[in-house]
Structure 1
Amino acid sequence: MSGHDHAHDGHGHGPGSDGHGHGPGGHSHGVSADADRRWLAIALALIGGFMAVEVVIGVMANSLALISDAAHMLTDAVSIVLALIAMRLAARPARGGFTYGLKRAEILSAQANGLTLILLALWLAYEAVRRLMNPPPVEGGLVVVTALAGIVVNVAAAWCISRANRSALVVEGAYQHILNDLFAFIGTAIAGVIVLTTGFRQADAIATLVVVVLMLKAGYGLVRESGRILLEASPAHVDPDAVGDRLAGHPPVTEVHDLHIWTITSGQAALSAHVLVEPAGDCHAVRRDLEALLDKEYGITHTTLQVDHAQDSLLTVGRTGGGASDAHCADAHGPVHRQGPHDH
């Protein structure tokens, strides 16, 4: 066996693969479109219909809490629409310059939804503080009835979305928003009872501030998670240093460098690395073993491993301080992982 660049792309060329990346223990490329679109469309119809009614009642009752709940439901509806659009875009095959297809459309839509939530929450917070200082009269009875109806609608919508594949970030975001909305409606119902029984009109503004906190929390979570993916960070549950050490500790591997782990779209992590093995090592066997290890221990099946014999690097002269990695990579990124003491 020669020691030159046994590079391998794990996207469907490994043992037991069907040529499309779906080997034993294969992974799902996104959501199952038909069933999930149906459940999302039902949830969208429930939320959109009730939201329109709630805006009218909120204006009639002069309740900012109801209007803020409706605003939150608007973001829920937008998140579902974005999910439906993103699912269609992500299903398109890769072509031209888009070598991953349009799978990142889901992540872009999640980020847009998160930013919208944050901006809307800031506006509602301003209005709530204004009403705390100068509370207008509020129709508590209308607030209670509408909030109770909202609880029923949100429970039904949450159940519909729970039937879809929540591994997609944009679908999970919609689900979490609706759960937040459910809690917000409970708070609004309590505020309506307080206004109705005690006349404490500030309760409406306080309930609005509770909704604002929930919106900020959900918005920040979406922006953070989608931002990690757009910035090519490793999945939150994967420690690249631990992965590098684990690979380097697999005989006859002597070194792993240029290790990159990123997320293509929700639930689809990818990894590339340069692996050096002992001069007598079987590069192809090592590559197969490492692919199986990454799949079993980390759930990573999109892998591109360049496997070389370590002796090749010793034949290359040129750079000072030449470690094994210097012979292969003009500018290695990240730490170098070796057997024994690790160079981090």
Structure 2
Amino acid sequence: MGHSHGHSHGASANRTRLVIAIAIIGAFLVAQVVGGLLSGSLALLADAGHMAGDLVGLVIALIAAVVAARPATDRQTYGFQRFEVFGALVNGVILLVVAATVAVGAIGRLVGDASGEPHEVEGGLMLVVAVLGLAANIAALLVLRGGASASINVRGAYLEVLGDTIGSVLVIAAAGVVLATGWDAADPIASLAIAALIVPRAVLLLRDVMRVLSQAVPAETSVAEIRTHILGTPGVIDVHDVHVWAITTGAHVFSAHVVAEPEELVGERRGCLLTQLGECLEEHFDVAHSTFQLESAEHAAHEHPSHA
């Protein structure tokens, strides 16, 4: 019960973080778009597009977090926590779309410059807006950082804002080059760098999403270690049909068939063994839901070959 209460409190805190980050990013987005249009900076508009993607991603993350907080039903027996993973999936796709859009625009600008159609950039305005954008992104990062390690949904939102923060730094650098040298090509080159930085983070996020959706063993969990712990429990002879997966980040699920001594399978000793096994999984491996089928050696001998 304590684990459930802690998860509920953490989910509520994550929703609050997302609301604050949405307010910060949304308040600055309009100013950045206007600044990009007035300065003629593609990098600034690319950063604004990334920030718009951040805003959409944050809203999706908030919706997913709200849905995930709903209680379990007869149709959704594990609840709606998996919606956090769906939110992270959408955020990963948004990141890739933004990266592709920015890259295409930047290449088009560079080709245009090479063909004798230079595009003048107002470096001073570009610099001012980029600095303000950096401040807004840093504020949003600080808000989201606390929930990024516990929720894949918040992590997706955090990665989007982190990418935009790096983008703002690149825009500032490009603005400095434009002001110092008048080399306007620094603007689309910065845009390409922004796109290049977005892609790896999107891929890593989508990899984590696919790990959850494919019900793979969580990256930080070792089936061999779990097996060793279970076999070390007094009265346990063997363990097989071991399955470990995650509903969402931090919500691990476990099931296994445990072969026990005959005296451990009757009366109060059966309940005590189940309690020991469950507490072991929760304490050492942060498994919120564990299911054990206790059986005798004779019963196990007649089962199909074990999965793990």
Common topology (TM > 0.5)? yes
What RMSD in Å do the two structures reach over aligned CA positions?
2.1
Deviation per residue, 1:176-202 (Å, 9 max, x gap): 222221121111101011011112222
SS in 2 for 1:29: helix
1:91–1:301 distance in 2 versus 1, CA, 3 Å: closer
Ranges in structure 2 where 5+ consecutive residues have no aligned partner:
114-118
Q: Does 1:312 align with 2:299?
A: yes
Equivalent of 1:224, from 207, 232, 239? 207
Distance in 2 separating the partners of 1:260 and 1:229: 13
Could you tell me how far 1:93 is from its partner in structure 2? Answer: 1.4
Q: Does 1:129 align with 2:107?
A: yes
Partner of 1:287: 274
Could you tell me how far 1:32 is from its partner in structure 2? Answer: 4.2
SS in 1 for 2:7: coil
Deviation per residue, 1:20-57 (Å, 9 max, x gap): xx15x666335545554343222212211211221222
Ranges in structure 1 where 5+ consecutive residues have no aligned partner:
1-21, 314-323, 336-344
Q: Does 1:215 align with 2:163?
A: no
Distance in 1 separating the partners of 2:195 and 2:88: 19
SS in 1 for 2:257: strand
Partner of 2:134: 151
Partner of 1:100: 78
User: Partner amino acid for 2:260?
Assistant: V
Deviation per residue, 1:90-135 (Å, 9 max, x gap): 1211113111121111110110110111122122112222323333
Partner of 2:161: 178
Deviation per residue, 1:269-294 (Å, 9 max, x gap): 11011111133445433322222221
Distance in 2 separating the partners of 1:141 and 1:69: 16
Query: How many equivalent pairs are there?
Result: 299
Contact kept? 1:279, 1:311, Cα under 8 Å: no
Q: Does 1:28 align with 2:2?
A: no
Q: Does 1:40 align with 2:23?
A: no
Q: Does 1:90 align with 2:68?
A: yes
Distance in 2 separating the partners of 1:220 and 1:164: 20
User: Partner amino acid for 2:183?
Assistant: F
Partner of 2:47: 69
Alignment of 1:256-271 (within 5 A): 256-271=239-254
Contact kept? 1:278, 1:311, Cα under 8 Å: no
Distance in 1 separating the partners of 2:235 and 2:95: 51
Partner of 2:285: 298
Distance in 2 separating the partners of 1:28 and 1:331: 38
Partner of 1:201: 184
Distance in 2 separating the partners of 1:27 and 1:213: 41
Equivalent of 2:150, from 163, 167, 180? 167
Distance in 1 separating the partners of 2:200 and 2:176: 26
Distance in 2 separating the partners of 1:35 and 1:275: 38
1:291–1:163 distance in 2 versus 1, CA, 3 Å: closer
Distance in 2 separating the partners of 1:153 and 1:91: 28
Alignment of 1:246-257 (within 5 A): 246-257=229-240
- Higher-helix-fraction structure: 2
SS in 1 for 2:259: strand
Distance in 1 separating the partners of 2:12 and 2:229: 40
Distance in 2 separating the partners of 1:68 and 1:232: 36
Distance in 1 separating the partners of 2:191 and 2:108: 11
Contact kept? 2:131, 2:168, Cα under 8 Å: yes
User: Partner amino acid for 1:257?
Assistant: H
Partner of 1:187: 170
Distance in 1 separating the partners of 2:281 and 2:21: 37
Distance in 1 separating the partners of 2:16 and 2:275: 40
Partner of 2:35: 57
Could you tell me how far 1:212 is from its partner in structure 2? Answer: 0.9
Contact kept? 2:84, 2:153, Cα under 8 Å: yes
1:304–1:27 distance in 2 versus 1, CA, 3 Å: farther
Deviation per residue, 1:62-89 (Å, 9 max, x gap): 2121111111111211221112211221
Distance in 1 separating the partners of 2:16 and 2:241: 43
User: Partner amino acid for 2:171?
Assistant: T
